[in-house]
Amino acid sequence: MTQVKMFHTVAAILLGAQALTLDIEEEAGVLVLNENNFDEAVKIHEYILVEFYAPWCGACVSFAPEYVKAASRLSDRKSSIKLAKVDATMEERLADKYNVNYLPTLKFFTNSNPTDYDGGMTDREIVDWLRLKSQPNRGEAEELSGPVHILTTAGSLDAFLTTHEKALVAYCSEPNSQLLEIFKQASLNVKDHSFGLVQDASLINSTEFVEDGQIHLHKRIRIGMYDLPRVEYKGGFDVNELQKFIEANSFPTILQLEPKTAQYVFNSEVKTHVLLLVSSLNGEFETLAEPLMNVAQEIRERAGNVMDKSVLFVVVDTDNADHSKLLTILGVQKKLGSLPTIRIIKLGKKGEPIKKYKPAGSLGIYWDPERVKKFVEDYLEGKLESYLISQKLPKDWDANPVKVLTAENFDDIAFDKEKNVLVQFYSPWCGYCHRLEPIYEEVAKVFSRRFDGGVDYIIAKIDATANELENTNITQYPTIKLYKRGTNKVIDFIGKRSVEALVKFVETGGKSLEQANEESREKDEL
């Protein structure tokens, strides 16, 4: 092949590749990917961050402006790093392939190899994270001893801490110490943290905030404003204890509940949460939540860093409309004298009810670190009783065909042995419940129109998000239960939600429409 032909061939290949790139649609500087162009995009671009989102996801909508600003920053810097997005509701196979379990989820691809994004959610945090991920370590050289990095100079220590997101560093000049032995054992077992060792006594002495014979957990990227950048290990010479410390302290001392931290809150092995219900607009993050940092860390250390025995402090911004459902579940109203306040919740296993605890007296709206500490200690020592929430019973609760129940009158009405009582457990924000409402109203009218007024039957409903019952746990909406006359046996309705099916279910004491019709046919045949 002549040089001219070869030149044209290479040029055609390059132009073809460029054309492929240009075929990918962009929105505000962000590549729009789908199943047809995804593999091509991650192959062409050495570094590419991909957001999996849904148009209906509130957290995704809030995050979108930051993502666009990050793309603009990278473009202004002439960076080769690209930002892209995938509508997970339209590209379900892509979402499944990359294990997208919550939204938004971000994946960073380096030469087509994906890793989880665990940086911040502002444009600056995104760009800083990407810059560090896409640049090789420019610090001084370091030696390796198995999985442990041997740090011999201030430069190598600094480079190690700025390059690795979660790093354990042992500052230990004694080569045969027990501390160093458990540190090396942990480095073999813990795969998602980096391990560094400083053995030079003069370097240890010149390093701020550390002493010889200590292990520190350093976190370059912090999760929220209350995450400590450095935590000292204060346990004994036990590798299991050290590993529990690493696991527990990977979480911030105090978490702010927001889209990027929700996964840490609800998926954590820590099931006891201290909820600090405060207003960001009133400056209560700084005046009430921040002073509790030391108390939260002390309680964590007292639990021995054991996750299922520990406590997670969570800041909930009461000015955020997205948290109104949580306030309802807690029975907290946004009115003068109710906020700020504090609650403890204990999450059970799936399907189990949440247990809630509240302080007595003025601690509800006025607190200081010592009083909060005493409240949490009383809980941990089993001195507190959980509480159930209830709405106030309306005066006209029985004025309409569908009776209104609250926790106050539920037992008296539902467990009336003289009647078959049908109860719908609903949620005000449940679309299925809204669609059921006219059907359920008609069922009640069917019985009220009978010659005797349907005195042997009660059709009722209860807002299950605002009323809790001692022996009834509702996990989905709507749930319909029949409390059977004579025995109070509770039977769940699982058939088609039609007027005919519900009426027959009540009349027959809990039989489905199909069962009732079958029995009727058998009688006719006899």
Could you tell me the end-to-end alpha-carbon distance of the chain, in angstroms, rounded to an integer?
A: 96
For the question of residue 60 being annotated catalytic, the response is: yes
Residue range 148-250, CATH number: 3.40.30.10
The fold for domain 26-132 equals Glutaredoxin (3.40.30)
> Helices marked H in 211-269 — which ranges?
239-249, 262-266
Q: What is the CA radius of gyration of the chain?
A: 30
What region does 164 belong to: left with phi over 0, alpha with psi -120 to 50, or beta? Answer: beta
Do 148-250 and 254-381 fold alike per CATH? yes
Among candidate residues 100, 215, 278, 433, the one labeled active-site is 433
Residues contacting 96, CB < 8 A, separation 6+: none
Q: What are phi and psi of 86, to 5 degrees?
A: -135, 125
- For residues 418 and 456, the answer to whether their CB atoms sit within 8 Å is yes
pLDDT at 22: 44
Per the annotation, the verdict on 172 as an active-site residue is: no
Q: Sign of the CA dihedral 464, 469, 473, 479?
A: negative
List per-block mean pLDDT (blocks of 10 residues) for the chain, which spans 526 residues.
37 36 79 93 93 88 92 88 93 89 89 86 83 59 68 88 88 92 91 91 91 91 69 90 84 80 73 91 88 86 62 90 87 83 86 84 72 91 92 94 96 94 93 94 94 86 92 89 94 93 93 74 56
- Given a contact cutoff of 8 angstroms between Cβ atoms, the answer to whether 217 and 261 are in contact is no
Q: Please tell me the distance from the alpha carbon of residue 433 to that of residue 435, in angstroms, as a whole number.
A: 5
Question: Topology of domain 254-381, per CATH?
Answer: Glutaredoxin (3.40.30)
Q: Could you state, in order of their start, the residue ranges of all structural domains in the chain?
A: 26-132, 148-250, 254-381, 403-514
Which of 430, 466, 490, 516 does the annotation list as catalytic?
A: 430
pTM of the model: 0.57
Respond yes or no on whether the N-terminal peptide bond of residue 104 is cis (omega within 30° of 0).
yes
Q: What is the pLDDT of residue 455?
A: 84
- Beta strands across the sheet bearing 82-87: 26-27, 30-32, 82-87, 47-53, 105-110, 113-116
Q: Order of strands across the sheet with 420-426?
A: 402-405, 457-463, 420-426, 479-483, 490-492
Q: Is 433 a catalytic residue?
A: yes
Domain 403-514 top-level CATH class: alpha beta
Encoded tokens for 259: 């889209």
What does the angle CA 171 – CA 172 – CA 175 come to, to the nearest 5 degrees? 150
The CA–CA distances, whole Å, from 346 to 56, 130, 467 equal: 30, 37, 18
CA angle, residues 57, 61, 62, in degrees to nearest 5: 120
For the question of residue 57 being annotated catalytic, the response is yes
Compute CA distances 123 → 64, 71, 85, 286, whole Å: 10, 8, 15, 24
- Helices assigned H by DSSP within 77-122: 92-97
